[in-house]
Amino acid sequence: MRSLAAISGALCVSVALVVALPQEKLATERRRTDNAGLYLLSRRENEGLASKITQAEASGANPEAACAAAQAALGETIVQTQPLIQTDVENNWSQTCIAEPRCIFQPASASDVGKLVQILDDHQVKFAVRSGGHSPNPGWSSIGDAGVLFDMSAMSTISLSEDGKVVSVGPGARWGQVSTAADSKGVTVVGGREPAIGVGGLTLGGGNFYLTSEFGLAADNVKNFEAVLADGTIINANADENSDLFWSLKGGGPSFGIVTRYDLSTVPVYDLWYAAYLYTPDQALELLDAMAQWQKGGASDLRSSVVFSIGLDSALVLMTYSAQAESPAAFGPFYQIKPLTIAIPPTNDTVRSLHDPTSSGFAPTPGRHDYRAVSSQVDAQLYKDVYEFWLVEATAVHEATGANQTFVIQHVSRNVAQQGVGWTSLVDGLDEEDDELARSVSITTTARWRELSQERGLDIDFLYMNDASRDQSPLASYGEENVQKLKDVALKYDPTQLFQNLLNGRFLLSKL
């Protein structure tokens, strides 16, 4: 079944800002923690649980009561109460999505998740779900002390079927771990291009990978979702069972339940040719021409993919080809441009091996990040006009704040939807109070992209959820018919609308 993201999708342009607070400031903002001491405190707290529950319930402080009830029911390994371990609180890719919840649920099984959801329902407490923690949107995978955080990291089991055709993965697993497991069987999964990204969030938003032109999004390759519904029941959603929920989870986001296992079909590709080159920013216009040429020509060879980004001080092009090769002809337009330097020399290896040079992991001190989506048809002049607009804006913000941004185009293949593009920017060295100024670059640039593409008949009303910013509405961009269908499914599987009312974040049907 084609994913919702793909059905609705088209030419996708996404923008991201990455803003890093100065290290010293973060160091002083972070609480120093001693894990052993915290566990002792938790144990002491646990001794007084009964009175705590009574107190909390009497005062109507539902988060406290929910945390206490959950810890009483599932124990302190699963339910971490105050004072929290800061590394667990802050295990997000971006500072913008870090908050201190009242307590942290760290379920080990779907059954734990079911019990915990019921406790939250009983106490009507808001919650957030964090798998890989890569969303920079504030509150998407974090919540403040009026709520509870589900940290899915303990559910990261990866197992392969005997025949190597299906990999079953817990939501807390990272794509690097999944591809390593698949690689050991000589197969590959369609997942995330950066190894630290979580399986949980990426798959529910779509999942754009090097092999997407050939095999679709990560969501297209899900064979079965195991999910916990609002009433705590555990169900499977696949082509035969609960197929409406199966369809909804493929790009519909977190509106329907907490996914506790993803059964992913592997794809019969093992070898990958790849190479990456760095260029100077004054080659940007040439590179944008080459990108559009590749999209309109070479990209029809579905084995080819390009990761394309232009920063304020350099540009990067990563080419991949899903077979053993030597300078694949598909990338012809790029070979005409002399690079400043070779970032990754032409390599024939496995798909998994590309995770090594692309691994950024989590910075010891997370930066402040944002990304933003917009879509259009492929057009070199449009790219160049928007790039020149962006360059002025991004340079001005850089001069004012020290922030850096990167302009990224992402190709969407005809095989997935209509052919398309995507965009990202990165910002470094910025203080929290500069967030809005930094974000203004992507906001005005996406508006400009939209305006010019509308004027030129190149616009496409689609926002890719995995690149959408906090104030955007990717679900609305799926179209009225799809939205109505999603709402019907949400009501069927969650009649009390627990997820719509209690889940933190805004990529929810109730927020449309």
Ligand X SMILES: Cc1cc2nc3c(=O)[nH]c(=O)nc-3n(C[C@H](O)[C@H](O)[C@H](O)COP(=O)(O)OP(=O)(O)OC[C@H]3O[C@@H](n4cnc5c(N)ncnc54)[C@H](O)[C@@H]3O)c2cc1C
Q: Which stretch binds ligand X (CB under 6 A): 77-85, 186-194, 229-237, 290-298?
A: 186-194
Does the protein bind ligand X through residue 141 (CB under 6 A)?
A: yes
Does the protein bind ligand X through residue 200 (CB under 6 A)?
A: yes
Q: What is the DSSP string of 290-338?
A: HHHHHHHTGGGSTTEEEEEEEESS-EEEEEEESSS-SS-GGGHHHHTS-
Cα–Cα nearest to 68, from 148, 127, 150, 155: 148
Which residues are CB-contacts of 15 (< 8 A; sequence separation ≥ 6)?
A: 371, 372, 373, 374, 407, 408, 423, 424, 425, 442, 445, 446, 467, 469
Does the protein bind ligand X through residue 140 (CB under 6 A)?
A: yes
206, 232, 339, 474: residue in contact with ligand X (rule CB under 6 A): 206
90, 194, 263, 393: residue in contact with ligand X (rule CB under 6 A): 194
Q: Helices 284-296 and 380-401: crossing angle, nearest 10°?
A: 140
Does the protein bind ligand X through residue 193 (CB under 6 A)?
A: yes
- Give me the least distance between CB of 162 and ligand X, in Å please: 26
Q: Which stretch binds ligand X (CB under 6 A): 124-132, 232-240, 266-274, 279-287?
A: 124-132
Q: How far apart are CA 71 and CA 66, in angstroms?
A: 8
Q: Which stretch binds ligand X (CB under 6 A): 38-46, 79-87, 251-259, 398-406?
A: 251-259
Q: How far apart are CA 379 and CA 67, in angstroms?
A: 53
Q: Where are the beta strands (DSSP E) in 114-242?
A: 126-130, 147-151, 158-160, 166-169, 222-228, 234-238
12, 129, 264, 378: residue in contact with ligand X (rule CB under 6 A): 129
User: Among all chains, which residue has been given the structure tokens 């020509």?
Assistant: 297
- Give me the least distance between CB of 471 and ligand X, in Å please: 15
71, 84, 90, 93: residue in contact with ligand X (rule CB under 6 A): 93
Among positive and negative, which fits the CA dihedral 421, 427, 428, 431? Answer: negative
Does the protein bind ligand X through residue 258 (CB under 6 A)?
A: yes
Q: Which stretch binds ligand X (CB under 6 A): 34-42, 56-64, 133-141, 413-421?
A: 133-141
- Give the nearer residue to ligand X in terms of CB position, either 62 or 504: 504
Does the protein bind ligand X through residue 130 (CB under 6 A)?
A: yes
Does the protein bind ligand X through residue 205 (CB under 6 A)?
A: yes
**Residue ranges in contact with ligand X by CB under 6 A:** 93, 128-135, 140-141, 152, 171, 192-194, 197-198, 200-202, 204-208, 254, 258-259, 466, 505
